[in-house]
Chain A
Amino acid sequence: MTWMSILVAIVLAFNRWVIYYFGLLNGVYLLLFLVSFFEVMRFVRRTFFSDYEQILKSEMTWPISIIVPAFNEARTIVETVRSLLAVNYGQFEVVVVNDGSTDSTLERLVETFELKRTDRIYRRTLPTGPVRGIYASLDHPSLIVVDKEWSGKAGALNTGINVSRYPLFCSVDADSIIEENALLRVVKPFMEHPQEMVAAGGIVRIVNGCEVREGRVVRIGLPRKSLPVFQVVEYLRAFLGGRIGWSSLRSLLIISGAFGLYRKSDVIAVGGYDGSSETEDLELVLKLHEHLRRSGRKYRIVFVPDPVCWTEVPSTFRVLARQRNRWHRGLLQSLWRHKRMMLNPDHGVIGMLALPYFLLFETLGPFVEILGYVMVALSYFLGLLNVDFFVLFMILAVFFGVFLSVAAVLLEEISFRRYPGWEHLALLVLAGVLENFGYRQVLALFKVKAFYDFLRRRKAWGRMEREGFRAAPERPGAA
């Protein structure tokens, strides 16, 4: 056999496997979409306006501690806290944790809300970095500000958990906007299944292009730039087409750090947020799953599609690359840490379906995709490319890609309809088509790069830990 024939054999084999892979991937997506579709319909019918009124007025409603880690957020922190204090909910407190900011985050808070130092007593249930002081406001009894030395977002959240008073806590990013009724909506599953509920996440929508006044979205719109518009479609697909489906299969693995509600005692039981994880939100949910599955308790971790958290997404490639790199490294890190759950029948759908899905499609997918393009070029030069077939295959791939995006837009249209105009609809569908030419490929490249970084860092970390160093502080609130 010549070199050539070996190469030809490899290329042909790869091409065949790619077709299988492609079929499987889209089959799974389609299935997930169908599950999501029925779940959304069920959700819409099950939603009674009066339930929220009841939750608002009932004395049985769980009080909530909203925890806001803040690192150099002087620009927006006052507005964020104002809008959080105005949230429509019965009993709640806002715990801002100033995570060693080097700007005037603390000063601005102290000034605006007339904060005073108190010696509030709290239990250090979770280990965290040193706290410099706790501040309270006379005019706003439900606001507490904790000033601590820098320890990263996970440490800040853990401090917030320690200081918080209530049995449920809600993590909120300092630069995100929570809709007025979001707490009422996200707490609802806790009211319905008080014994079983452990965590609930809401939907994250993109604020770029919306008009914001005084920490409130007053007019919803789509971003002007193309990069954020692609992300709008991507987020719709991820939340409405993905998380709803996973949630109804009882294997939701991601609750966005930007907005999630947790039962404090369970989070404490797994040791709180993990400071060594790149994506502490994902790691926490996985830890909760592993712990609760092992304990054999009946539990629920769900996604609730209508409480909205508005967040700003990167509008430049550079920032997007950094964000995705971190996300993907975090995913790889968590998959690696919880590898025992993988294909473990004890972990039910999570072990047998959700985790393999993340490994097979989220982790390996980008490689297959990038390699696929290389192989196409190679096939062409080797004269192996059946041009007809190739063109058809590409059309099919694009069709499927568009299909999933359009399907997500459909879910949005039949349920929540946050984007009211026809021009929004047209733009979203257009973005669903165009993202297949460039945006997706770039995302795949980001992920391949993240995989490489992950392998490199793992080595680096091992070394540093032995020498007693901590990883150099990256901006903790990035994303």
Chain B
Amino acid sequence: MRAIMIQIVTVVGALLAGLTLAIVINKARREMSEAIDRRRRALLEPAVFEYLGAASSKPLSGYLPKRLSRRDRRLVEEILLAAARIVKGDTRDRITAALEGHGSVQGAIRSLRSRRRFKRADSAEDLGLMRSREAVEPLVALMNDPEPEVRIRAARALGIIRGTTSIRPLVRALADPSRWSAIRVAEILINVGAEAVDELLAAYETLPRHARISALDVLGRIRSLRAIGLMKRCLEDPDPDLRARAAHGLGLIGDSGTAPDLIKALADREWPVRAMAAKALGRIGNPAAIPSLREAMKDRQWWVRANSGEALRGLGQAGREALIDIPFARHMAVSQLEEGRIIEQSVSDLTSADPERRAAAIRFIDRVTASARVDERTRQAAEATQESVRRALGDVLKTPGPGDRGRP
């Protein structure tokens, strides 16, 4: 018994000593390596930066010391990739050229075939930063990787490199069965921007339903006028999700000529479509929509009312006036005026030097009061701001306005 115990104690003790030693050795090694890295980096970095800032056609190797160790080569690659994150234009092209000359691009392409998925993902990521066209084909092939994390990094890299050959597989990837991958691919396409529009329009009909929704979203967020035709057609689609997306997209594009189509969508059977149409009408800012939006404040759905209120708030003076004496959804209307700090603005306008502004402010506050909407904030503003504002506001509130009879 005692012997066994002694053995156990020895084993655990040895394990403990080993662990402590492992920590110490690990730390010492790391610190040493970092110290060497720092020293070499201090030497290499200025040379690399000088190459990047120069205008001559001398390759990077001309700026570096003759003989480079493996550590040096790794550091040069690291420095170039770090710089690649912060610059664009000419300097960026010089980085790509340097990385191609340095063998980094080829190395990363080789590691795309690694068995370890982290390594594949890492290399795909680096290739995006390197922006070498040589990498397009291997990256497109990587879009079939079994690992979603790897696919998404390949997609991101392709989005950075751009060009038709890299965009087409991205558009196809919108149909990725994993919803989340699809969303991220959509984002990559948005970052690609105008260059992706033609591919998206051409491929739209061939895409499955959920990919179409993403495609409409992407087109809207790229704000391409070329997509308006497709969006208008989609407002008539039997699928309500597509109609809602299309309405949303038209709002993002913001062409005020699409107002009539959106006003029509404001009477859609499905409330998500109505809500999106209201939001879109607010975005494109066509005052012709005011009567319909006012009407939409009666909608049974909270979201439609909220979006309509917000839209009206954004539609200038006329829209705000429409909000004041709205006979329904008053709470909503006032909270819109509140959030937009419109009441506050009028209160401070009361002391404006411009007589017209002053008059307008008085009229406005009058009407707010008339519809019995003297709210907390107005009162507070009267208590808090400077003397002159307080007096002016007091005057307005004292003199009975034309609509005062309607006060309950």
Contact = CB atoms under 8 A, between A and B. Distances in A.
Interface of A: 45-46, 48, 50, 54, 58-60, 116-121, 138, 192-195, 388-389, 392-393, 395-396, 399-400, 402-403, 406-407, 409-410, 413-414, 422, 425, 429
B9 A399 contact: yes
A378 to B, nearest CB: 21
B72 to A, nearest CB: 22
Given A399-B12, A399-B13, 16 more contacts: A48-B125, A116-B377, A117-B380, A118-B376, A119-B335, A119-B377, A121-B335, A388-B2, A389-B1, A393-B5, A395-B9, A395-B13, A410-B22, A413-B27, A414-B26, A429-B20
A403 B5 contact: no
Given A395-B9, A396-B12, A407-B19, A389 B377 contact: no
A76 B179 CA distance: 44
Contacts of B15: 403
A58 B187 contact: yes
A119 B12 contact: no
Nearest to A23: B8
Contacts of A429: 20, 23
Given A410-B22, A425-B23, A118 B2 contact: no
Given A393-B5, A403-B15, A422 B377 contact: no
A410 B380 contact: no
Interface in B1-53: 1-2, 5-6, 8-9, 12-13, 15-16, 19-20, 22-24, 26-27
- 10 closest cross-chain pairs (CB), A and B: A392-B5, A399-B12, A45-B118, A119-B376, A403-B16, A410-B23, A396-B9, A406-B19, A413-B23, A395-B9
Given A389-B1, A395-B9, A403-B15, A117 B376 contact: yes
Contact of A50 (B1, B27, B125, B179): B125
B295 interface: no
A192 B121 CA distance: 15
A425 B25 CA distance: 12
A372 B283 CA distance: 73
B55 interface: no
B78 interface: no
Given A46-B118, A118-B377, A389-B5, A410 B12 contact: no
A119 B9 contact: no
Does more than half of chain B's interface fall in helix, strand or loop, or is it mixed?
Answer: helix
A395 B6 CA distance: 10
A409 to B, nearest CB: 6
A396 B184 CA distance: 53
B331 interface: yes
23 contacts: A45-B118, A48-B125, A59-B221, A60-B184, A116-B377, A116-B380, A116-B384, A117-B377, A119-B376, A120-B335, A121-B331, A192-B180, A389-B2, A392-B9, A393-B5, A395-B9, A399-B12, A403-B12, A406-B23, A407-B19, A410-B22, A413-B26, A414-B26
Given A45-B118, A407-B19, A119 B375 contact: yes
A392 B2 contact: yes
B118 A422 contact: no
Indicate the member of B8, B23, B179 with the most A CB atoms within 10 Å.
B23
Contacts of B13: 395, 399
A478 B299 CA distance: 48
B338 interface: yes
Contacts of B156: 54
A425 B380 contact: no
Interface in B96-122: 118, 121-122
Interface string B141-178: 00000000000000010000000000000000000000
A166 to B, nearest CB: 16
Contacts of A410: 19, 22-23, 26
Nearest to B119: A45
Contacts of A121: 331, 335
A143 to B, nearest CB: 15
B183 interface: yes
Nearest to A388: B2
A396 B9 CA distance: 5
Contacts of A388: 2
Nearest to B118: A45
Contacts of A117: 376-377, 380
B23 A396 contact: no
A406 B26 CA distance: 14
Nearest to B26: A413
A403 B183 CA distance: 46
Contact of B27 (A116, A192, A193, A425): A425
B289 to A, nearest CB: 25
A117 to B, nearest CB: 6
Contacts of A422: 27
A194 B179 CA distance: 10
Nearest to B28: A422
A399 B122 CA distance: 40
A389 B121 CA distance: 54
Nearest to A47: B118
Interface in B170-228: 179-180, 183-184, 187, 221
B384 to A, nearest CB: 7
B77 to A, nearest CB: 15
Nearest to B122: A48
Contacts of B180: 192-194
A118 B338 contact: yes
